């Protein structure tokens, strides 16, 4: 269990670095309008050095994620990935203290970070996840089909002229895609490496990951980060917790006390992530948009460990 926790925290840190550079790249790219905008966006991003650096960090995060799932249950590992927001806040504050001209995190962010940590602790103490079984192809297929279906609905919505809340809808689709990715990855790590290319979980993982990445890049480029980040940050662990039982047979501790602790932990985790994500994205957006010359959505992703949204230091 300790190995799974440490690997999951390492994965969260790597994904945090990945998302900040991906958002910097995606928010600075003009893909135009129309039905082909997503393909144009991806074509430009794969030639963008900063975006490619973000993908390298994502590979590191995915590798650590796979090892974490190999050593622990989905219901243990996936919620820990939400700690990326907290790690970003702490590491960002350490970096900013070395530069007097930079801002520091505000009290609301610190309070939300504490709530996330407490929520994770309460949930994990109350969960005591039991060993599961291998997932069936049908269960994995339904997860992928659901993620693709949500992505298609989101794409149809986002392509409508003057459609409201585009970034939010795309963020929901991305969160569903990444939530499904965690389940597919858990199934894949139980397969011998030399059989990956002939196993269903490998291709299910690729498809789920493609859905999550495409929807995320589109959301980054479409609107303010505050619209998409909370949905992405919350849906991934919720999907994992909700589907780990039906898909893998993983069980949580029973009893009124244990169930109450699990519920309280999830509520604290989700509430803290929502507040931290909204506060981070909302406070950082105006400052970065101005620095970027008014580019829509030009702010770094608040989950990474660099430059989190913050209050300005007072002179003197």
Cβ atoms 200, 140 nearer than 8 A? yes
In tens, the pLDDT along 103-116 reads 666 788 788 888 88
Q: How confident is the model at residue 260 (pLDDT cuts 50, 70, 90)?
A: very high
For range 38-49, the mean pLDDT: 76
Distance CA 288, CA 45 (A): 20
Integer Cα distance of 161 and 158 in angstroms: 8
Span of 65-69, 112-116, 233-237 with lowest mean pLDDT: 233-237
pLDDT of residue 30: 65
Q: What is the mean pLDDT of residues 113-124?
A: 83
Q: Which residues contact 144 (CB under 8 A, 6 or more apart)?
A: 180, 184, 204, 207, 208
Domain region containing 64: 2-291
Q: Are 23 and 220 in contact (CB under 8 A)?
A: yes
Query: Would you say residue 129 lies in a domain?
Result: yes
Task: Look at residue 303 and tell me if it is in a domain.
Answer: no
What average pLDDT does the chain have?
A: 75
Q: Residues 45, 216: contact at Cβ < 8 Å?
A: no
The mean per-residue pLDDT over the stretch 264-292 comes to 66
Contact 149, 205 (CB under 8 A): no
pLDDT computed for residue 264 by the predictor: 93
User: Is 308 a domain residue?
Assistant: no
Across 56-65, 79-88, 108-117, 299-308, least confident range: 299-308
What Å distances lie between residue 71 and 12, 30, 209, 265, CA to CA? 16, 42, 21, 22
- Which of the two residues, 142 and 128, has the higher pLDDT score? 142
CA distance 86 to 127: 21
Residue of 88, 83, 281 lying closest to 167 (CA atoms): 281
Distance CA 212, CA 18 (A): 14
For residue 50, the model assigns a pLDDT of: 80
Q: Identify the bridge partners of residue 104 per DSSP, sorted by sequence position.
A: 311
Burial class (CB in 10 A: 0-12, 13-18, 19+), 99: exposed
Query: Per the confidence metrics, is the pTM higher than 0.85?
Result: no
Answer yes or no: are the C-beta atoms of 43 and 221 closer than 8 Å: no
Summarize the confidence of residues 306-310 as an average pLDDT: 34
What are the pLDDT digits (tens) for 200-212? 888 888 888 888 8
157 pLDDT above the threshold of 50: yes
Nearest to 35 by CA among 160, 149, 151, 150: 160
Is residue 167 exposed (0-12), middle (13-18) or buried (19+ Cβ within 10 Å)? buried
Q: Domain for residue 41, yes or no?
A: yes
Nearest one of 172, 178, 167, 150 to 61, comparing CA atoms: 178
Tell me how many domains the chain contains. 1
- Shortest CA distance to 234 belongs to which of 78, 109, 123, 87? 78
DSSP 311: B
What was the pLDDT predicted at 98?
Answer: 64
CA atoms within 13 A on the CB side of 243: 27
């Amino acid at each position: 269990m300790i190995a799974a926790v440490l690997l999951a925290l390492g994965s969260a840190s790597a994904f945090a670095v990945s998302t900040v550079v991906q958002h910097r790249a995606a928010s600075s790219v003009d893909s135009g309008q129309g039905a082909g905008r997503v393909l144009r966006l991806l074509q430009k991003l794969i030639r963008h050095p900063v975006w490619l650096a973000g993908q390298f960090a994502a590979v590191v995060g995915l590798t650590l994620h796979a090892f974490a799932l190999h050593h622990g249950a989905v219901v243990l590992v996936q919620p820990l990935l939400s700690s990326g927001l907290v790690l970003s806040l702490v590491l960002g504050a350490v970096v900013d203290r070395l530069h007097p001209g930079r801002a520091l995190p505000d009290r609301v962010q610190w309070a939300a970070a504490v709530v996330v940590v407490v929520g994770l602790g309460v949930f994990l103490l109350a969960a005591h996840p039991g060993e599961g079984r291998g997932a069936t192809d049908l269960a994995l297929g339904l997860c992928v089909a659901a993620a693709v279906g949500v992505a298609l609905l989101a794409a149809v919505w986002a392509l409508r002229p003057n459609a409201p809340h585009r970034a939010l809808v795309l963020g929901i689709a991305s969160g569903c895609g990444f939530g499904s990715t965690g389940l597919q990855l858990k199934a894949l790590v139980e397969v011998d490496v030399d059989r990956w290319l002939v196993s269903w979980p490998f291709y299910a993982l690729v498809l789920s990951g493609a859905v999550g990445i495409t929807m995320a890049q589109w959301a980054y480029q479409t609107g303010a980060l505050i619209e998409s980040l909370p949905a992405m940050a919350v849906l991934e662990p919720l999907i994992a917790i909700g589907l780990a039982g039906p898909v893998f047979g993983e069980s949580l501790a029973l009893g009124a006390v244990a169930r109450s602790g699990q519920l309280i932990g999830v509520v604290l985790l989700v509430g803290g992530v929502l507040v931290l994500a909204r506060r981070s994205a909302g406070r950082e957006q105006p400052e970065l948009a101005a620095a970027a010359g008014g580019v829509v959505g030009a702010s770094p992703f608040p989950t990474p460990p660099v430059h989190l949204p913050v209050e300005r230091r007072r002179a003197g």
